[in-house]
Every structure is written in structure tokens, then in C-alpha cells.
Structure 1
Amino acid sequence: MTNADPQELAKFSDLAHKWWDPESEFRPLHEINPLRLDWIDQLAAIKGKNVADVGCGGGILAESMARKGANVLGVDLADKPLKVAQLHAMEAGVANLDYRSVAAEALAAEQPSHFDVVTCMEMLEHVPDPSSIVQACFDMAKPGGWVFFSTINRNPKAFLFAIVGAEYMLKLLPKGTHEFSRFIRPAELARWAREAGLDLVQFKGMEYNPITRRYWLSGDTSVNYMMACRKPLAS
């Protein structure tokens, strides 16, 4: 069975037409994208690299990595966001970018050890078996390749900030975007990464000031956080 939740796919498909509107429900993705793009590029130097963006949605990160000179394949199982991503890339004339409707596990089986960089951002908390996605990202990365994840911590502060604050009070996200039970503690994600065979390199927290509408990276992983890993070189 496909490692996807039909309700989650439908949720994002219903909003697909708003994906590239920076004042829509996807405003937070537009505002954090420069931060995560620069962090990924600083570590992995993506220009000229083959990159897979797993759970690419409407293509905000995938297209920005392609504009940095990476050869990007964005994959997702929600068809409407994929169509939006394809249309936006075509209208923008971004040539080194392709999109496919394929599961991460299927792509890993089809193209093992193929990608220099694999990104999986804001996706793990929306699938039934996130550890399977982590394993697939390891499998599709080249030896020595980089793998990046981002998700949300599971604790009372994260519930208050990411659900009560972001969805109900500040209305940064549509109500029901996240389920608290699916949030992932850093220790859990780190364990899945190690079990898959990845070496942990760095954690980064992402913080937000609702008054200034400013996001920044920090060492505080108590709510939103990212993790960088590398696949060991073959012995």
C-alpha cells in the first residue's frame, strides 16, 4: 500500500490554486523558503547537483533550488499541487526542473543511490509511516550525498505555537493543517535516520515573531526544526 493519507492529499489539493500566492495560506512557506534554501545550499552546494525534493507540493522549494542551478526532480502524490508546480515552472521558464507523481519508496527502488541531495520538508508529519520515507530518502541518495528533513516537534509548546497559534489565533495556516499526534520529536527523527543508515550532521530550529512577521534559524528545536544528514561513503 502507498504510504500516504488520502485525507492529507485532498487537504492540500483543495488549496492547490493558492500555492504561489504569497499572501494565501501558504504565506509561511514563502517566508521560510529563503532560510531553508540558503541553509541547504551552504551545506550541500546544490549548483549542478541532482536533487530530489520529496513531498514537493506546489514546488516552492523545488523551483528555488532549480533557480540556484540544481537539477531538480520534485515528487508528490497530490496531483493538483503537482500540476500547479508544473505550470508555474513552465511559465517561469525554469528548464532544469521536472515533476512526477510517484511515492518516495517507489522512486528509491527505481533510482537507488542516484541523487546528490534529497530534501523532504514539511512532509513527514503528514504520512502514516514517516520512518519509511526516511529510509527511502537514504536509499535514493548517493554515497556521500546529503539528506535534509524538516518537521515539527511534539510537545506542549509546539501544540500551542503550531496549532493554537498558527491555525486559530494568527490564522497563518488553515485550521486542521496539522495533527498534534503526528508531530515528531527530534530524537525520534534522529533514531529513524540512524536506523536507515544516515549520519546526523546538524539540527536547526526555526523561530517566528508574529509582530514583525520575521522568521530566523536558531538552535531552538522546540517547535519547527530541520535536520541535515549524510549518507556514508561506500566502504
Structure 2
Amino acid sequence: MSTLNADPAEIQKFSELAHRWWDPSSEFRPLHEINPLRLEWINQRIPLHGKRVIDVGCGGGILAESMAKKGATVTGIDLSEKALKVADLHSLESGVNIRYQKISAEEMAQAEPAQFDVVTCMEMLEHVPDPASVIRACAQMVKPGGSVFFSTLNRNLKSYLFAVIGAEYLLQLLPKGTHDYAKFITPAELSQDVRNAGLELQTMKGLSYNPLTKIYSLNNDTSVNYMIACQRPG
């Protein structure tokens, strides 16, 4: 019996906030604000219309729902039952058809290997005990020739100051304790894990927040938040 690659405290933390997931002025406001940027970046790289997509660690379904609205057939998986209930309810209200399932990435990879054109795993790797295991699972779920997208936080002094001290304590963009700096992942580490999982790294993009204008933007600065696009060789 394999042990579940999840931190119960992390699941509990997000479950307690689940009812606020779709409130754009809540603790999840940053997710609402960066979602259009992420969505367009993914959609430009691989047009989502008509694609089978799985969102790993989907939470309340912000990204999953927006990909479904682009015409994708979307599955969202998470281990927080409360978050999934919120996601399910919101998709009904929005009239968007999404399959939500309480299952780990590793279990899903065994159940449905090579079934998806696109796999997204955003802001999740820094919340699990073994991120490399999730990356391998994502690589197994995607079809040969398909795309996998990850986003996470870099580990350095700047990211500690911006993502923990700045975002959680000074600007209060996120609840205190959202992030554990020790679990942040450098681009070099993520690139290595991706290659070890049999994926080819295609490109990397930074995501920055300007506290003066209160605007997020995509750029080449990967020092704090960053995203990567990978492909499973065909």
C-alpha cells in the first residue's frame, strides 16, 4: 500500500478556506487576478478548444472552469473534498460541465494513463511532500505529444521577501502560513524533475506583481513566481 503524497495540514488549510474560493476579494484574490494571464499563456501555446485537459490540484476550480469555457473537456482533481464541492457547485451555477474527482495525481495516473492532451498543475508542487512524484504522475497522464504546465515559487531571498513576508504579512494578499519557504522549488530543480519524468522542457515564464499598481504581469523574471511548459515526446 503506497502512502498518499499529501500533507494533511495543507489539505485542511485549504479546506477551511474553501467557501471563500470564488470570492474575488477573499484570500484567493491573487488566483483570480493571475488566472487570465495563465489561461492565455496556456491557450496560446496549445489551443484548448476540443482538448482533453486535467487540472491537478484544481482547488475550487478557477483555472479548470476557465479552460472549460475555452472549449476544453476538463477533469479537475484534488484531495480537498470541501474545495471540490465548492468547485462542483460553482460549475453548476456557471453552466460549465466539468468532471471533478477526489483522487491523487499518482492514483489518477494509474487509472487513466496517457489520456489527456493537456495537464496543468498550478501552485501545487510547493504544497506536497514529494513534488517529483506529482511531476511523474503528470507525465504519465499526458498523451505522447501532449503538453504539461507547472507553476510554482522559486527558492531564494527575493522570493522569501516577496512571496512570504510581502504577500502574507505586509500586503496581506494571502493568509499567513500559506507558504512554507523550505518547500519552494528552484527552476533548476524543477527542470531536473521534469527531465527525470521523461518530459521535454520547452519554455519558462515569470509572473510578477507590482505592489504600486497592484497589477500582475507575465515576463521573463522567474525570481519569484514562474511557470513552465513541457511536452511528452511523441
1:2 deviates by: 0.6
Q: Which amino acid aligns with 2:78?
A: D
Which of residues 25, 28, 50 is equivalent to 2:27?
A: 25
Structure 1 residues 109-130: Cα deviation after superposition (integer angstroms, max 9, x where no partner): 0111100000000000000000
Query: What is the CA–CA distance in structure 2 between the aligned matches of 1:60 and 1:106, rounded to whole Å?
Result: 23
Q: Which amino acid aligns with 2:192?
A: R
Tell me which residue corresponds to 2:124. 123
- TM-score, normalization by structure 2: 0.99
Query: What is the CA–CA distance in structure 2 between the aligned matches of 1:159 and 1:74, rounded to whole Å?
Result: 30
Tell me which residue corresponds to 1:179. 180
1:176 deviates by: 0.1
Tell me which residue corresponds to 1:35. 37
Query: What is the CA–CA distance in structure 1 between the aligned matches of 2:112 and 2:91, rounded to whole Å?
Result: 23
Query: What is the CA–CA distance in structure 2 between the aligned matches of 1:24 and 1:167, rounded to whole Å?
Result: 13
Query: What is the CA–CA distance in structure 2 between the aligned matches of 1:111 and 1:18, rounded to whole Å?
Result: 31
Where in structure 2 are there 5+ consecutive unaligned residues? none
Structure 1 residues 136-167: Cα deviation after superposition (integer angstroms, max 9, x where no partner): 00000000000000000000000000000000
Tell me which residue corresponds to 2:167. 166
Taking only the aligned residue pairs, the percentage that are identical comes to 64
Query: What is the CA–CA distance in structure 2 between the aligned matches of 1:210 and 1:176, rounded to whole Å?
Result: 20
1:212 deviates by: 1.1
Extract structure 1 runs of 4+ deviating beyond 6 A.
none
Query: What is the CA–CA distance in structure 2 between the aligned matches of 1:55 and 1:12, rounded to whole Å?
Result: 11
Tell me which residue corresponds to 2:110. 109
Q: Which amino acid aligns with 1:8?
A: E
Query: What is the CA–CA distance in structure 1 between the aligned matches of 2:77 and 2:157, rounded to whole Å?
Result: 32
Tell me which residue corresponds to 1:77. 79
Residue 88, structure 1, aligned to residue 104, structure 2:
no
Query: What is the CA–CA distance in structure 1 between the aligned matches of 2:70 and 2:199, rounded to whole Å?
Result: 25
Residue 10, structure 1, aligned to residue 12, structure 2:
yes
SS in 2 for 1:211: coil
SS in 2 for 1:72: strand
Q: Which amino acid aligns with 1:69?
A: G
Matches within 5 A, 1:189-200: 189-200=190-201
1:98 deviates by: 1.0
SS in 2 for 1:35: helix
Tell me which residue corresponds to 1:57. 59
Query: What is the CA–CA distance in structure 1 between the aligned matches of 2:48 and 2:94, rounded to whole Å?
Result: 20
Q: Which amino acid aligns with 1:51?
A: V
Tell me which residue corresponds to 1:145. 146
Query: What is the CA–CA distance in structure 2 between the aligned matches of 1:166 and 1:210, rounded to whole Å?
Result: 9
1:44 deviates by: 1.1
- Aligned-residue CA RMSD (Å): 0.4
1:213 deviates by: 1.0
Query: What is the CA–CA distance in structure 1 between the aligned matches of 2:14 and 2:44, rounded to whole Å?
Result: 30
SS in 1 for 2:25: coil
Q: Which amino acid aligns with 1:121?
A: M
Q: Which amino acid aligns with 2:69?
A: R
Query: What is the CA–CA distance in structure 2 between the aligned matches of 1:4 and 1:90, rounded to whole Å?
Result: 28
Structure 1 residues 55-105: Cα deviation after superposition (integer angstroms, max 9, x where no partner): 00000000000000000000000110000000000111112x110000000
1:10 deviates by: 0.2
Query: What is the CA–CA distance in structure 2 between the aligned matches of 1:213 and 1:25, rounded to whole Å?
Result: 15
Where in structure 1 are there 5+ consecutive unaligned residues? none
1:189 deviates by: 0.4
